[in-house]
Amino acid sequence: MDFEHFEEKEAVKKAAMIEENGYTFYSILAHETQDAETKALFQRLAADELKHKKIIENKYFEEAGLGEQITEEELSLEEYIDREHASDIFTRRIDVEALVKVLDHPRKALIVALDTERYSVRLFEELAKNAETEEGKEIYRTLVEEEESHVELIEALLKVAPPL
């Protein structure tokens, strides 16, 4: 996806939605996961996503002319899971609990998490490139670094996760 054609307002909404859905997704997975190491990873990722959402809301919502609502888009979760490379799922308002139920294997959850984190990296890189202020560029660069660390953590866990 080519992010440079996003209107700024839509880009900010998508960034916040990614973080909101990521927080919910990781929180549910942390609650349902039995393995202590995996549970700790999901708890850390949930806390990071919540922090990222607050940064985006506090810095960019007012500048982009947004209120507190993001978007009300819906998505068929089963269709998403069946599509390959559909890493933009968290850019929409979705039923994250239903998503977790569709992900009937820990490896599937990790694959979805990895896809969405990689998408976040690309989105935030584009937002950093197009930010009008140095402060904006720095905020998005910081988010890129944090999302890249999430990619590394998930990739490491996938190496030891049970196969499908």
| Cα–Cα dist 91/116, whole Å | 9
pTM above 0.85, yes or no: no
Q: Which helix (H) or strand (E) element contains residue 95? A: none
> Does the CA dihedral 12-18-20-23 come out positive or negative?
negative
| Cα–Cα dist 128/22, whole Å | 20
Domain boundaries, the chain: 3-159
Classify domain 3-159 by CATH number. 1.20.1260.10
Residue 154 above 90 pLDDT? yes
Question: Using 50, 70 and 90 to split pLDDT, how confident is the model at 3?
Answer: very low
Residue with tokens 């720095």: 138
Q: Vertex 31, ends 14 and 25: CA angle to 5°?
A: 15
